[in-house]
Amino acid sequence: MKFLIAGAGAIGAYIGAHMARAGLDVTLFGRGPHLRAMQEHGVRVKTVEGDFEARPKVASKLEEVGQVDVVLLAVKAHSLPELAPQLRPVLGADTTVVSMQNGVPWWYFQGCGGPYEGIRLERVDPGGVISAAIEPRRVVGSIVYLSTEVEQPGVIRHTEGDRISLGEQEGTRSDRCRRIAETLIAAGLRCPVTTRIRHEIWVKILGNVAFNPVSVLTGATLVQMARDPEVSTLVRNIMREAEAVAGQLGLELPVSIEQRMAGAEKVGEHKTSMLQDLEAGRAMELEAVVGAVVELGERFNLPMVHTRTVYACAKLLSECRTSATPRRV
């Protein structure tokens, strides 16, 4: 199978390095200094199990890649409206597109049936740009459970996790999911195929919607937020609101709030991906992770008091950082 990883940042380059080391046909698509470093020197991965280097194919233009069997969409959610229309040169008749974004994905209400079939979340897919570029039949959902960061261009530091769950929208165990999973397993990753992809998405959202924006506002690690009496109360309240949204969607989550809190505390002194993005001056996945939950709460007439407050503060912080200009002293 021929793979393209569209978005060769921390997650994409890490997966691509594993696949290239296993001798698989994979191309990384990216831009900027990180891309140039990978073109010149390959990808160096630092892990507690030991460092390794790999030389995957790297492209700066999708026209250079040609049609592929599988596209792994490894960009952040806010980058998809720009990227999705550019994918046409790599999409063949049977190309599968695996979404790997945090939060509520653009395809969530495609093929779900029931009263919410076809809902489009403006905060996730503004103007329907993503849905228009990627047909529903191509999409396989995924949930990424690993933590990486770009330590310097071409160098990826892996701190924890090696699992990527795959799932069809309709909950079947398809041949294409099995083939993709087998390929990623051959690359040294864990890749279960789930028949409950929407449930798993909400389990991850339950933590991300609370911990990520609060970490941005406080600069705290997961264990600090979980152990602080007042902040942990806020986090639990946000989780309850997200749980209420999931309930409106007919989902009974298999993990309790207390289990989610305990899991976060166990991770320890880890900064959320959103806090890492803020500190690095990058755009945050605020809309897909938090804004989408708020948008659904509005649709269902749920109060969402705690989530909405934290979202508003984190959004203003992001806007202030974006518009800030250096002052001359």
Active site residues: 204
Strands of the sheet with 139-152, listed across from one edge: 52-54, 43-46, 155-167, 139-152, 91-99, 68-73, 2-6, 25-29, 57-59
Residues with Cβ within 8 Å of 319's Cβ and at least 6 positions away in sequence, in order, are none
Phi first, then psi: give them for residue 153, nearest 5 degrees. Answer: -50, 125
Please provide the DSSP assignment of 179-238 as one string. Answer: HHHHHHHHTT-B--B-S-HHHHHHHHHHHHHHHHHHHHHH---HHHHHH-HHHHHHHHHH
Sole residue written with tokens 């250096």: 326
What is the Cα gyration radius of the chain? 19
User: What is the C-alpha to C-alpha distance for residues 26 and 29, in angstroms, rounded to an integer?
Assistant: 10
User: What is the C-alpha to C-alpha distance for residues 111 and 57, in angstroms, rounded to an integer?
Assistant: 35
Distance linking the first and last C-alpha atoms of the chain: 57
Q: Are 62 and 86 in contact (CB under 8 A)?
A: yes
**How many Cα atoms within 13 Å fall on the side-chain side of residue 212?**
24
Element spanning 114, H or E = none
